[in-house]
Structure 1
Amino acid sequence: MTSPAPGASWLLDLSRLLARAHEAVPTGIDRVEFAYARYLIEHASADTTFCAMHPLGRVGGVESGLANAFIKALGAYWTGGVGQPPVGLRDRIRRALVWRRPMARPGATYLLVSHHHLTRPKAIARLLRQTKCRFVPMIHDLIPTEYPEYARPREPARHERRLETVARYASGVIVPSEDVRDALCRRLARSGRSIPVWTIPHGVDRQTTSGPGPTLDHEITRRVAGRPYFVCLGTIEPRKNHLLLLHVWRRLVAEKGENAPVLVLIGKRGWENENIVDLLDRCPALSDHVIECNSLPDQTVRHLLVNSRALLFPSFVEGFGLPLAEALSLNVPAICSDIAVFRQIGGSIPDYRDPLDGIGWRSAIMAYASTGLGRTAQIGRLANWSPLTWDESVSMALSVM
């Protein structure tokens, strides 16, 4: 791993983790903020302080001992299903934010690796004046401004305010992919400021597929038993192109009947998805071949992935694509959209299909459902693929600042 410059210090914002501490399953952005917190606690604790946004709109300091205890408890709950959500620790931290000033060495880097409170430029400006820090946020994507048709109605304007804050105050920006970097550089060019933008791909936690898997829900076990199945992982929303998969599956059931493979959808229902929901709720042909799981613990998701025929990832656009990196790290084949960010992650490993090519997706799915040569060949290619770990990703980010 690369190392940060000697004398570097950090002020890490924990606002998103505090806001999400009650959730049983972390989102992708939750995982990013958690990975940075865990790394800094384990590898740079003497050079790291913490802060967070109080619900009333002021950034306050977080005592290091409380931050360490909170991250440890949250990690045990999210990754191992141990204990209860650390809402008690969260509430203690939040109460102290009212009076505790954020502390940092002069010249430290204020890291905000979620989009949390980028819409509050005055609060960020006040923090930078108080601490004399330089500001390095992470921008995960520009989808709301580049592809507003996939965003909730108010989100494009909100994201534009985030980008205005970055353009005005940031000393540098971290992004997870070259696609995001290109879009952000175009946006920053309009501001007249020259700001470094560093592409640091997200990592994965090293996983093991040995040992007994978790006990699956009886209904899932019954419906996948003895049948090939595929996994699609992510929020159910139009951008992720679930509609294509559901139409493909309806055709497969019509053609193959009980011999059609099973599709396991793992993710909460999102927004602007009425057509998708209608198929899930009202299409009889899909009722025995599509399993919808609102959210599942990480161990269960890994178990389902490892025993699946492949991950399916037909998105139109992504800022990164953690499910793809996680699947490949488990030696699970993937069939995914032929978009640049997925090629950045997977290189020549996955099988790529145009996200509008329903016939191509159907053919690939049926080939992978059997002992097809394509799946065998991809498993062979996976032997030469090495995932970037979260520690490596965070270390890379800290070393370039």
Structure 2
Amino acid sequence: MEFADKEPITFFFDATRLLARRKAETPTGIDRVDLRYALYLEKKENVDLRLGFSHGQKFFVLPFRFSDALLRHLEDLWLSDKITVSRGESAAFKTLHEIAKTPEKLLALAESGPWPKTAAYINCSHSNISSAKFLENISLQFSEEMIFYIHDIIPMTHPEYVRKGDKDTHTRRIENVLQYGRTLLVNSLDTENKIRKFCEETGALLPDFHLSIIGVEPKFFASRQADMDTEPYFVMVGTIEPRKNHLSMLLVWRDLVESGVLDIPKLVVIGRRGWSSENVFALLDECDAIAPHVIEVGTASDAEVISYLSGCKALLFPTFTEGWGMPLAEALAHGVPAIASDIPVLHESGAGIPEYIHPLDLKSWRDCILDYAQAGSKARAEQIERLEKFNPPKWQDSYGALDKVVEKLLTHHTLGTTGLNHPFDRLSDQGAQDHDWEYSKIDEETIEFENWYPRQTDSKGRYYRWNGQSSTARLAIRDRLRDASFLSISVRCLYGLSLDSVLTAVAVNGRQADYREVSSNDLTEIIVDLSNADQSNSLLITFFLGERRRPVDLNLNTDTRSLGFNFFSMSWLSLKESLKGPEGLDSESNP
């Protein structure tokens, strides 16, 4: 579909982390994704990129002058292919840097709108998303369409490797993302599978997943130098923290010394000192046995990492868990063999190329390291042959998923709507006809609903219900639904009530679906998009009601020998359960 004549989609990009990290000499993996996606959207047609930052649970938009200065500075600082990176700072960046030291000054410069209705909020850094209030403010002020890049859920699956409190914080992040966002970009199938499992365990609505593998920086594509007759060494890259498993490698090196191995190879440790690793720090600082054989480099630039990788025998990557494993992909892209943990995600990032060993099988690590250290290592030579077939992930490939999201937003924009899933937007009756949302009513059934009422709030923002009233709904099912693109459900509410005040999402067979509402007097027609649904012999249509998204299911069973459907069951939760706030209400607070 062509969009040249359409107004661009405004992307409000959360640059809170980029702003906070503006003086960091070297980027983390999250930093790279954050910056790369901002730069890509900045150049993409039909996209108007606006960078913003958080303060006091709200989002503020930077003026273009400072947004551009921030991106140009970080692009030069973190992504330059030059061996000697220019540290020159523009006058605009220097001004931004000074102003950002005082939040009140930065807030005074923030732009106030008005903002276009056709917009989306995108967050690639995990910043701010532990706050439901922040995301609620985004939905009210900027856009209900939110896109999140999720790097991992390690604090939830492996809390023993993170700081105290990180598990609860990250759980809130994922819960909020699943509540407010329907589009998730993920860096690996392993990350996606773990989020799917979390959804199954908690009953959360499955989002639309888009695999967005982290690209390798082009500077790593240059081939490593040919093996030279120099002292053999191995390299570890990554922050010194418990899950990276530096301890095991240092113990292997101490064992090499204590067992009397001759010609012990060197170990080069690249990465800053992190947290909860006092035993590792003690070995690095106090162990005389390994001191002659272990070199701690600390933080290093990409150019320095490449220099160390180029002459090493192999990268050692004994990590317990990863979201993707960027150092592994970078080493392989540079033509460097690797010995890596035998965990699922590293089979993704490593494409089956490395030697895979269980992270706690220290004897196998020891044997493999000694083998690879030898000039005539057969195993290493075989891996170098496998490396010739390695196709490193590129950033352009990573953007493909984002392209699909932008295209879908633009497609819906051409239909006259403002995003993928906005319960409070409307299509006119004529608009529905224009887009071929015709259907044949083959069956009708009137059903009584218990307490089908709009959301009401008291002075504290809590929810309550009205008692003693009822309403009815009429369902109409489209003819030949098995081959149809849409399902139409008509709901009639009595007493002047409205469906849009409680409906927050619709799912088909557990996957969130696009839907539109067409209202006419007291009748609301819900048109559910089935194009991405698994139309097997049964369909489960789920309506999510209220802020807490309580599910209400409509079970349909298709008859493959006819054009129609048989209704099996339909049950609706009481609004007393589906709409009450998190604090709950006692009977005295109900009018």
Structure 2 length normalisation: TM-score?
0.61
Q: Give the 3 Å change call, closer, same or farther, for CA 124–380 of structure 1 in structure 2.
A: same
Partner of 2:311: 307
Preserved contact between residue 42 and residue 49 of structure 2 (Cα < 8 Å): no
- Offset, 1:55: 4.0
1:17 is matched with which residue?
Answer: 18
Determine the C-alpha separation between the residues in 1 that align with 2:60 and 2:78: 25
Equivalence for 1:106: 117
Counterpart check, 1:386 vs 2:391: yes
C-alpha spacing 1:65/1:392, structure 2 compared with 1 (3 Å): farther
Structure 1 residue 316, shift from structure 2 partner = 0.9
Deviations 1:360-384 (A, max 9, x none): 1111111111221111111111111
Matched, 1:199 2:199: no
Given the superposition, is the C-alpha separation of residues 256 and 72 from structure 1 closer, same or farther in structure 2, using an over 3 Å criterion? farther
2:402 paired residue number: 397
Q: CA deviation at 1:66?
A: 2.6
Asked if 2 retains the 8 angstrom alpha-carbon contact of 1:200 and 1:393, the reply is yes
- Which is bigger in relative contact order (C-alpha 8 A, separation at least 6)? 1
* Partner deviation per Cα, 1:70-98 (whole Å, 9 max, x = no partner): 11111212234311575643455764444
Determine what percentage of the aligned residue pairs are the same residue. Answer: 35
Q: Which residue of 2 aligns with 1:30?
A: 31
Q: Which residue of 1 aligns with 2:168?
A: 157
Deviation, structure 1 residue 102 = 6.3
Counterpart contact for 1:209–1:306, Cα < 8 Å:
no
For residues 5-84 of structure 1, what are the structure 2 equivalents within 5 Å?
Answer: 9-44=10-45, 47-80=47-80, 81-84=85-88
1:130 matched to 2:134: no
Measure, in 2, the Cα distance between the counterparts of 1:250 and 1:104: 61
Mapping 1:321-336, distance limit 5 Å: 321-336=325-340
Separation in 1 of the partners of 2:301 and 2:390? 26
The structure carrying a bigger strand percent of its residues is 2
Instruction: Please say which of residues 269-278 and 8-17 is displaced more in the overlay.
Output: 8-17
Among 177, 183, 204, the alignment partner of 2:194 is 183
Return the letter of the residue paired with 2:182: S
8 Å contact from structure 2 (residues 271, 297) kept in 1: yes
1:11-52: per-residue Cα shift (whole Å, max 9, x none)? 2211111111111111111111011112222334x5132233
Q: Is the 8 A contact 1:14 1:50 kept in 2?
A: no
Q: Residue 245 of structure 1 corresponds to which residue in structure 2?
A: 249
Taking a change above 3 Å as real, the CA distance of residues 210 and 168 of structure 1, as seen in their structure-2 partners, is: closer
Which whole-Å CA distance do the structure 2 matches of 1:381 and 1:270 have between them?
Answer: 34
Runs ≥4 residues deviating over 6 A: 3-6
SS of the residue corresponding to residue 51 of structure 2 reads strand
Aligned-partner SS, 2:122: strand
Instruction: Provide closer, same or farther for how the CA distance between residues 108 and 54 of structure 1 changes in structure 2, counting only shifts above 3 A.
Output: closer
| TM superposition shift of 1:301 | 0.7
Cα deviation 1:257-316 (Å, max 9, x = unaligned): 672111111111111112211111111011111111220111111111111111110011
Counterpart of 1:111 in 2: which secondary structure? strand
- The answer as to 2:172 corresponding to 1:168 is no
Q: Give the CA deviation at 1:103.
A: 6.8
The number of residue pairs the alignment matches comes to 387
Instruction: Quickly say closer, same or farther: Cα 1:88–1:324, change in 2 above 3 A.
Output: farther
Residue from 151, 162, 165 that aligns with 1:140: 151
The whole-number CA distance in structure 2 between the counterparts of 1:113 and 1:145 is 19
- The alpha carbon displacement at 1:56 in A equals 3.8
Instruction: After TM superposition, give the deviation of residue 193 of structure 1 in Å.
Output: 2.1
Tell whether 2:348 aligns with 1:344: yes
Q: RMSD over aligned Cα, in angstroms?
A: 2.6
TM-score w.r.t. the length of structure 1 is 0.89
Q: Distance in 2 between matches of 1:49 and 1:91?
A: 24
8 A Cα contact 1:35 1:394, kept in partner: no
Q: SS in structure 2 opposite 1:325?
A: helix
**Could you tell me which residue of structure 2 aligns to residue 272 of structure 1?**
276
- Unaligned stretches of 5+ in structure 2? 407-591
* 1:199 Cα deviation from its structure 2 partner: 2.3
Contact 1:52 1:97 in 2 (8 A): no
CA distance in 1, matches of 2:237, 2:3: 34
Contact kept in structure 2, 1:231 and 1:311, CA below 8 Å: yes
CA contact (8 A) 1:185 1:197 kept: no
Distance in 2 between residues matched to 1:262 and 1:227, nearest whole Å: 8
One-letter amino acid of the counterpart of residue 261, structure 1: P
SS in 2 for 1:12: strand
Contact 1:106–1:132 at 8 Å: present in 2 too?
yes
Q: Contact conserved, 1:77 with 1:83, CA < 8 A, in 2?
A: yes
Q: Is the 8 A contact 2:57 2:137 kept in 1?
A: no
1: distance between equivalents of 2:155 and 2:88?
34
Structure with the largest fraction of helix: 1
Q: 1:51 to 1:102 in 2, by over 3 A?
A: farther
Report which stretch shifted further, 353-362 or 251-260.
251-260
CA distance in structure 1 between the aligned counterparts of 2:203 and 2:106, rounded to whole angstroms: 37
SS in 1 for 2:289: helix
Residues 315 and 337, structure 2, Cα contact 8 Å, conserved in 1: yes
Larger Rg: 2
Q: Unpaired runs of 5+ in structure 1? A: 213-224
Give the AA of the match of 1:202. I
Which residue pairs with 1:89 in the alignment?
A: 96
Asked whether the equivalents of residues 202 and 322 of structure 1 are also in contact (C-alpha less than 8 Å), the reply is yes
Over 3 Å counting, the alpha-carbon distance change for 1:88 and 1:362 in structure 2 is farther
Instruction: Verify the 8 A CA contact 1:4 1:398 in the aligned structure 2.
Output: no
